[in-house]
Amino acid sequence: MSTTTVETKFKPGDYKSGLGPVWCPGCGDFGVLNALYRALSQLQIEPWNTVILSGIGCSSRLPGYVKTYGFNGVHGRALPLATGVKVARPDLTVIAVGGDGDGLAIGGNHLMHSARRNLDVTYILMDNEIYGLTKGQVAPTTPTGDKTKSTFWGNPEPSVDPCELAISTGASWVARGFSGDVKFLTELTARAISHRGFSFLNVISPCVTWRGDDQYRELKQKLQYVPEDHEASSRRAAVAYTREKDVLTTGILYHVHDQPSLVDRLEEVKQRASGGRPEPTTRELLERFFPNL
Amino acid sequence: MPMTDLTFAMVGSGGDGVVTMGDMMAQAGASVGLHVMKVEAYGPQIRGGESSCTVRISGAPIFAQGDFIDVLVVFNWADFRRFRGEMVTAPNAVILYEESDPTPREQLEMDLGIGAGARWIPVPFVKLAKESAGTALAKNIVTLGLLGELFNLPQDALKRAISARFAKKKKEVVESNLQGFAAGVEFAASLNGRLNDRALEYTPGEPMLLMSGNEASAVGALHAGCRFFAGYPITPSSEILHYLSEVMPRMGGYLVQTEDELAAIGAVIGGSFAGVKSMTATSGPGLALMTEMLGLAAMAEVPAVIIDVQRGGPSTGLPTKSEQADLWQALWGSHGDAPRVVLAPADVEDCFHASVAAFNIAEEAQVPVIVLSDQFIAQRRETLSMLTLDHEVVGRQVPSAGELRDYRRYKDTTSGVSPMTWPGMKGGEYQTNGLEHDEVGQPSSMYIVHEKMNAKRYRKLRLVRDKYSFFRHYGPAEADVGIICWGSSKGPVKEAVMRANGRGEKVSAFVPQLLYPFPAHDFQRFVRGVKDIIVVELSYSAQFYKYLQTFLDLPDGHTFLFKRSGGKNLTVAEVEDKLAKVMEMGALRREVLV
């Protein structure tokens, strides 16, 4: 006789693929992965009905460590792959993951359009402000002035705030998390997956190898939470928590409930097109090409 | 002598309605069982500018655009000048031209390439249109009446086509256009039967389908079970996107116009990974952008269908005109050793079959399949019989319950094909990778894994070559001259071969539909049966000829090449010209040998 309830059917450990991460000891991405295991368990998501997709970079190795369907694609194209999976199979839970170079530089265009479409996918962007896999070059989120392997004299360019970008391009759920705060990150991840529409979770995930050991300590000192009375449905209120310098605010910055997702809109088109009629046969499609005189 | 086959060409500016006129002629012909091929050509302007429309109408099957224009209608000589070198008139052509053209042809001070035997007939198109229909816009309708009466085109069908065209307008609009038509007929009668000898002779038959290659490609994809399309607009492929945007949701499927071609191919790979047959359509510049993820599909072994409707290149090239120079890009474009399959439809009907074959191959061998269509077949409209448009559909091989217990996505098998799950199949979860990976799908940089998996992926191509090689062979098995060509060159080549055979000449042609993997066996058998070979293609650098040299022993001194740039469709006359030279050379050589 089993006493197992539905709630405990999948434990966090059940989502481990058995493959050991290649990440450096102390990498922030471990925190993101652990939060994801816990969030999946919390939501009791069936592994075989879930797809995790990524591009290229340290963080893009993540799908290999989760026992769902997974796809580690090419640099910058996690969201196009996720678009195909979600639109072709709206029944699946689809999560895209990757780093700041993958999602904001080479793949930046896809972030804008996925947000605009309100694609019903969760996108977890692990932000370490550096290119880690290629050994320490400047990234779109690297602060101005920072020395990296490719900015010997200091970064001459301004950086981008990923949350500001996602909010301004149409994402319906935007949050910032910190990989050193796995408990809260688990909650944010679960909320992101539960959201119907494009949910964008920007996780500050330090790189101990190329950004120094002090980052965790500094970030923990700056860490604060979005206040309880924050008006998350207001774009203006949300943007107030972007481009921060002295503090790191985590939590749900922006959230609107009533936006139809891309899948909702395409379903509506499908209903309107078919009008409840059966699919035409090939012969019926062809007959339309007889001159209708 | 009455004609069984006439080619009409109409030239004017945007707004003159030459394409509308061609549409109505084609529809009228198809509706009474005539064989029709309609080709449009434009300048680069978005609206306005010069446009031309060529309609070949015949009582018997036709395979190519007419080489020579039998009947030329010119509203504006300045527009005609822009198509110089592309529109060639027959020696005894009939030229019907606007008598009040503001730029008379005498003022053009150039050789229009119209022979001395042509019959010139000035027509007051504008005046007749204004008088009969009340607007100069109706001059194309006047022309239809004129052509209908002069050349015995099906006049009732033409009138039905006019009524159908204006059906959504007020009744008076239909009436005035029909008056325009009558004015054309009347004007023709006033010419006192001067052209009775050129009337078309035919026996009416059952209506035919009238389709473009792009439409046939799209319907073929739906027949194959494609239910997800992602694409980015690009000339000359966009009609596939347009058609599917209407019909895909009707079929219970989904369509997304993506932000670029990178996203299009990415979404196709995603959709297919998720178990839904998925496709994109593009042209050369788009295929270039898709190339990285073509390699991903090859590496991750995800079925994907990509239709490349070729246009003139490189770079932006000639967006509205045809060429056969994306061949190498399709065959070899990618870093690493990336197996793919390349198919080439040769006419409109073939576009339907190539789409279905592409999905069958993609699903069966889990490879990306590129269909190399081109502007000439994609955008022309031609008549087809419904009877030829059916094709068996093949699905994906999924693992058995036993195989799911210890599921290895990339299991090394004899055929190279490993059963593939899709999300939703419990126990079939796997992580796929653009990184080299082992049988389970885990990343590996080991040489022995890489070598083994390369071998596995390429082994699948043998299956494709053995099962899906399809070619057309025209003419006798043993011949003095054998022509090898591909894609849209087939039409003119076939017609040239049939004419030569009709004269008793021993000439044959070989047109493969499967270009890669290379069906060497079929090629060799053809090559062994002919004394001299001509390779025909529209690629300046002779991509096809060089490709053949890679795999085929083409006999020295017996292999000839006819190649030129695209931008102008291949004609039967060009093929016949080359054929005659090679025949003559072969005859001389045989004389010497005796």
B-chain CB neighbours of A50 within 8 Å are 423
Residue where a domain terminates, one of B331, B360, B388: B388
In a domain, B395, yes or no: no
Structural tokens at position A29: 């991405």
B-chain CB neighbours of A51 within 8 Å are 273-274, 423
Give yes or no for residue B220 having a pLDDT over 90.
yes
Question: Tell me, what's the pLDDT at B184?
Answer: 97
Nearest to B276 among A77, A81, A88 (CB): A88
A274/B443 touch (CB, cutoff 8 Å), yes or no: no
- The letter for the amino acid at B94 is V
The CA-based diameter of chain A, rounded to the nearest angstrom, is 78
Chain A nearest CA to B431, separation (Å): 4
Question: Tell me, what's the pLDDT at A7?
Answer: 52
Three-state helix/strand/coil letters over B473-492: EECCCCEEEEEECCHHHHHH
- The letter for the amino acid at B576 is E
Question: Tell me, what's the pLDDT at A8?
Answer: 66
- Mean pLDDT, rounded, for B219-241: 98
List the one residue out of A96, A199, A206, A79 whose CA is nearest residue A142.
Answer: A206
pLDDT, tens only, B99-114: 998 888 888 777 777 8
In a domain, B393, yes or no: no
Say if residue B454 is in the same domain as residue B550.
Answer: no
Nearest to B431 among A63, A269, A274 (CB): A63
Chain A nearest CA to B266, separation (Å): 5
Q: Among B217, B250, B280, B349, which would you mutate to test the A interface (most chain A Cβ atoms within 10 Å of its Cβ)?
A: B250
Residue where a domain terminates, one of B365, B388, B411: B388
Residues whose CB falls within 8 Å of the CB of residue B31, separated by 6 or more in sequence, listed in order: A290, A291, A293, B154, B157, B160, B161, B207
Rounded to whole angstroms, what are the CA distances from A215 to A197, A207, A221, A222?
33, 8, 10, 11
Nearest to A269 among B28, B249, B263 (CB): B249
- Mean pLDDT, rounded, for B494-503: 96
User: Do residues B535 and B549 make contact, with C-beta atoms less than 8 angstroms apart?
Assistant: no
Nearest to B247 among A86, A92, A285 (CB): A285
Give yes or no for residue B327 having a pLDDT over 80.
yes
Q: For chain B, what is the domain count?
A: 4
- Mean pLDDT, rounded, for A1-13: 69
Range picked from B11-20, B183-192, B283-292 for highest mean pLDDT: B283-292
Question: Tell me, what's the pLDDT at B462?
Answer: 97
Chain B nearest CA to A128, separation (Å): 23
Say if residue B191 is in the same domain as residue B278.
Answer: no
Residue where a domain terminates, one of B468, B491, B511: B468
Say if residue B143 is in the same domain as residue B222.
Answer: no
Say if residue B104 is in the same domain as residue B92.
Answer: yes
> Is residue B141 within a helix (H) or strand (E), and if so which, with residue range?
helix B139-151
Structural tokens at position B228: 């997800």
Nearest to A48 among B258, B296, B426 (CB): B426
Its ipTM equals: 0.96
User: Do residues B481 and B49 make contact, with C-beta atoms less than 8 angstroms apart?
Assistant: no
A84/B270 touch (CB, cutoff 8 Å), yes or no: yes
A51/B274 touch (CB, cutoff 8 Å), yes or no: yes
- Mean pLDDT, rounded, for B309-323: 96
Q: Would you call A178 exposed, middle or buried from its count of C-beta atoms within 10 A (0-12, 13-18, 19+)? A: buried
User: Do residues B14 and B45 make contact, with C-beta atoms less than 8 angstroms apart?
Assistant: yes
3-state SS assignment for residue B451: helix
Name the residue in chain A with its Cα closest to that of B356: A282
In a domain, B423, yes or no: yes
Q: Among A52, A75, A77, A263, which would you mutate to test the B interface (most chain B Cβ atoms within 10 Å of its Cβ)?
A: A77
Say if residue B498 is in the same domain as residue B455.
Answer: no
pLDDT, tens only, B428-478: 999 999 999 999 999 999 999 999 999 999 999 999 999 999 999 999 999
Of A119-133, A264-278, B82-96, B435-449, the one with minimum mean pLDDT is: B82-96
Give yes or no for residue A6 having a pLDDT over 70.
no
Structural domain span for residue B435? 401-468
Average pLDDT of every residue of chain A: 95
In a domain, B396, yes or no: no
B249/A273 touch (CB, cutoff 8 Å), yes or no: yes
Measure the CA angle with vertex A236, ends A234 and A237; round to 5°: 70
B389/A286 touch (CB, cutoff 8 Å), yes or no: yes
pLDDT, tens only, B520-552: 999 999 999 999 999 999 999 999 999 999 999
Give yes or no for residue A1 having a pLDDT over 50.
no
**Which residues partner with B36 through β-bridges?**
B57
Looking at chain A, the whole-number percentage of residues with pLDDT higher than 90 is 94
Number of A:B CB contacts under 8 A?
207
Q: What is the CATH number of the domain that holds B365?
A: 3.40.50.970
B258/A48 touch (CB, cutoff 8 Å), yes or no: no
Residues whose CB falls within 8 Å of the CB of residue A3, separated by 6 or more in sequence, listed in order: none
A80/B223 touch (CB, cutoff 8 Å), yes or no: no
Q: Which residue has the higher pLDDT, B359 or B197?
A: B359
Say if residue B123 is in the same domain as residue B244.
Answer: no
Chain A nearest CA to B562, separation (Å): 36
Give yes or no for residue A3 having a pLDDT over 90.
no
Say if residue B360 is in the same domain as residue B436.
Answer: no
Question: Tell me, what's the pLDDT at A269?
Answer: 97
In a domain, B571, yes or no: yes
In a domain, B127, yes or no: yes
B-chain CB neighbours of A80 within 8 Å are 258, 262-267, 270
Question: Tell me, what's the pLDDT at A239?
Answer: 97
Relative to beta strand A69-72, strand A50-54 is parallel
Question: Tell me, what's the pLDDT at A2?
Answer: 47
Say if residue B51 is in the same domain as residue B179.
Answer: yes
DSSP designation for B159: H
Say if residue B523 is in the same domain as residue B588.
Answer: yes
Give yes or no for residue B62 having a pLDDT over 70.
yes
User: Do residues A143 and A244 make contact, with C-beta atoms less than 8 angstroms apart?
Assistant: no
B431/A280 touch (CB, cutoff 8 Å), yes or no: no
Q: What is the CATH number of the domain that holds B53?
A: 3.40.920.10
B-chain CB neighbours of A70 within 8 Å are 429-432
Give yes or no for residue A5 having a pLDDT over 70.
no
Say if residue B350 is in the same domain as residue B257.
Answer: yes
User: Do residues B301 and B363 make contact, with C-beta atoms less than 8 angstroms apart?
Assistant: no
Q: Options 1.10.10.10, 3.40.50.970, 3.90.650.10, 3.90.1150.10; which CATH number does A6-287 get?
A: 3.40.50.970
Its pTM stands at 0.96
Say if residue B506 is in the same domain as residue B533.
Answer: yes
